[in-house]
Amino acid sequence: MPDPKGVDSSSPFLEEITATREAFDKVHPATTQLQTLNIGVRFIGVGFFDFQHGQNGVAPNGVELLE
């Protein structure tokens, strides 16, 4: 999820991004090491298929989400 510091102050999504990030960080605080979480999430956006070209974190079927 985006860091609210990287979102323009005029964004209509800033308040929601800030609240979501704060709620997530309370439960899963950031550390200096990679953490794997076994939790369900829901993404809302435009999905599309990308050709697989060695990118990190790609889904097995190449699906990506446009923010």
What confidence tens digit (pLDDT) does each residue in 26-51 have? Answer: 998 889 998 888 888 887 888 888 88
CA distance 59 to 44: 16
CA distance 15 to 20: 9
User: Where are the domains positioned within the chain?
Assistant: 4-66
Give how far Cα 1 sits from Cα of 14, 16, 19, 43, 54, Å. 12, 11, 11, 10, 22
- Could you tell me the pLDDT band of residue 67, with boundaries at 50, 70 and 90? low
**Strand intervals (E) in 1-67:** 46-49, 63-66
pTM here? 0.53
Q: What pLDDT is recorded for position 60?
A: 84
